[in-house]
Amino acid sequence: MNPNKLKTVKRLVVKIGTSSLILANGQLNLKNIDELAFSLSSLQHEGYEVILVTSGAIGVGLNVLGMTRRPTEIAKQQALAAIGQVELMSLYNHMFARYQQKVAQLLLTNDVIEYPESRQNATESLNAILALGIIPIINENDAVSVDEMDHKTKFGDNDKLGAIVTNLSDADLLVMLSDIDGLYDKNPNIFEDATLIEHVSEITDQLMKSAGGAGSRFGTGGMTSKLEAAKLIFENDKQMILTNGARIWEIRDILAGKKKGTYFGQ
Ligand code: ADP
């Protein structure tokens, strides 16, 4: 880990997963959402440029409709994403406003990022929002993105989107907030003797194996998708911290160069 490299961070992307936004009983995790709004707003006020990549539209949609199970039908999932996205943004807007911070919404699909012209447009839009002192809040446009062989507009998961946005915005750091303290040598929810890995400088096959399986009920990616995101981070010579979304205020310690979670970088 290179504390000095973290101390020079100016622009950062924070990615928060559904498991940090929705409680196991399906209710909104207001504590985490409030801490996120406070932490990011205060950083922005101090001169950092912050971008938030958020999951949670479908989870919030389930909550709005009082449903407990994610439907299997794609059209219904997309409807839930559309319903939940409005509620999620309304909640963010309200929470950030409490800390005198304005937010903007960007809904992206993979095709936007793949075409150079629309990619450039997305970058310029992000830069313009940041220049106004506003925090862009980004999600995949789940209500319309598709995953067909000949027409693939899905990113796959928001961990990957977090890494893509980090590269797109030329940010210095991706903070990946999850429901776990970092990457362990094996799944700590299964193995009691799992130990935290503090520093990863390369994504090896061995590491990929240790990440196996999907994660929580609401989180979709599990640890594998976080390591796939880390690969994109390494390819672009960026850095990433994987840490716990239940202690969001620690982002401040991370930016001060203190050891928290797992650091991915040289
Ligand atoms: P989020 O919704 O926050 O993106 P996920 O639930 O998708 O998070 O992924 C985190 C989960 O991945 C952990 O709670 C844990 O159950 C699982 N996991 C599997 N292998 C590992 C590992 N080696 N280290 C840490 N977590 C792991």
Domains of the chain with bracketed CATH: 3-264 (3.40.1160.10)
Atom of ligand 1 nearest to the CA of 177: 3
The whole-number average pLDDT for the span 160-172 is: 97
Instruction: Output the residue whose Cα is nearest ligand 1's atom 16.
Output: 215
In angstroms, rounded to a whole number, what is the distance separating the alpha carbons of residues 251 and 4?
15
Q: From ligand 1's centre to the CA of 115, what distance in Å? A: 32
pLDDT of residue 221: 56
pLDDT of residue 96: 98
Q: From ligand 1's centre to the CA of 100, what distance in Å? A: 33
Q: From ligand 1's centre to the CA of 238, what distance in Å? A: 22
Regarding the beta carbon of 221 and ligand 1, being less than 6 Å apart is answered: yes
Atom of ligand 1 nearest to the CA of 159: 4
Q: Which amino acid is at 54?
A: T
In angstroms, rounded to a whole number, what is the distance separating the alpha carbons of residues 44 and 25?
32
Atom of ligand 1 nearest to the CA of 221: 7
**CB atoms inside a 10 Å sphere around CB 261:** 24
The whole-number average pLDDT for the span 141-164 is: 85
pLDDT of residue 143: 87
Q: Name the phi and psi angles at 36, rounded to 5.
A: -65, -50
CB 174 within 8 A of CB 233: yes
The whole-number average pLDDT for the span 15-44 is: 95
Statement: residue 169 has pLDDT above 50: yes
In angstroms, rounded to a whole number, what is the distance separating the alpha carbons of residues 175 and 162?
9
Q: Calculate the alpha carbon distances from 160 to 41, 97, 115, 140, 232 in Å.
A: 24, 28, 17, 10, 8
Lookup: tokens for 13:
């992307």
CA nearest to 148, candidates 251, 74, 62 = 74
Regarding the beta carbon of 184 and ligand 1, being less than 6 Å apart is answered: yes
Strand, helix or coil at 255?
A: helix
Regarding the beta carbon of 250 and ligand 1, being less than 6 Å apart is answered: no
pLDDT of residue 218: 47
pLDDT of residue 232: 96
Q: From ligand 1's centre to the CA of 194, what distance in Å? A: 13
Strand, helix or coil at 71?
A: coil
In angstroms, rounded to a whole number, what is the distance separating the alpha carbons of residues 193 and 211?
15
The whole-number average pLDDT for the span 18-33 is: 94
Q: In what order do the strands lie in the sheet with 173-178?
A: 103-108, 135-140, 49-54, 11-16, 173-178, 239-244, 262-264, 199-200
